[in-house]
Amino acid sequence: MEYSEHNRGAKLLTVVDLFAGCGGLSLGLEQAGFETVFVNELHPDAMKTFVMNRPNSPIQNTKYQVLDILKLTRKKADLTSLAAHLNKQYKGIDLVVGGPPCQGFSGIGHRRTFEVTKEDIPTNYLYREMAKVVAEIAPKAFVFENVRGLLTSRWTPEGEKGEIWKDVLKTFSRITVKVNGKTLSYQIGYELVYAKDYGVPQNRPRIVMIGIREDIPVATSSKLVGNGLLPQPTGGAPDPYDLLSDLVDPKWVPGGSTLIYPKEARSAFQKLLRDDPITGKILAKGSPISDHVYSNHSELVMKKFQYMIEHDGNIAASMKTKKFAQRLLPEKWGPGGPNITATSLPDDYVHFSQPRVLTVREWARLQTFPDWYQFNGKRTTGGRRRAGDLEVGDWTRDLPKYTQIGNAVPVLLGEAIGNHLKKILGVK
Dihedral sign for Cα 343, 347, 348, 353, please: positive
Compute φ and ψ for 227, nearest 5 degrees. Answer: 60, 25
* Contact of 32 with 53, CB cutoff 8 Å: no
Give strand ranges (E) for 345-401: 349-350
22 is catalytic: no
Tally Cβ neighbours within 10 Å of residue 309: 16
> How do beta strands 95-98 and 141-147 pair?
parallel
Cβ(377)–Cβ(49) below 8 Å: yes
Q: Are 262 and 290 in contact (CB under 8 A)?
A: no
> 46, 102, 283, 340: which one is catalytic?
102
Residue 222 CB neighbours (<10 A): 8
Task: Please answer whether residues 244 and 363 qualify as being in contact, where contact means their C-beta atoms are separated by less than 8 angstroms.
Answer: no
Pick the closest to residue 98 from 409, 364, 400 (CA basis): 409
Asked if residue 257 lies in contact with residue 290, where contact means CB atoms within 8 angstroms, the answer is no
DSSP string, 233-297: P---PPPHHHHHGGG--TT--TT-B--B-SS---SHHHHHHTB-TTT-SBPPTTSB--S-B----
**Residues annotated catalytic, as ranges:** 102
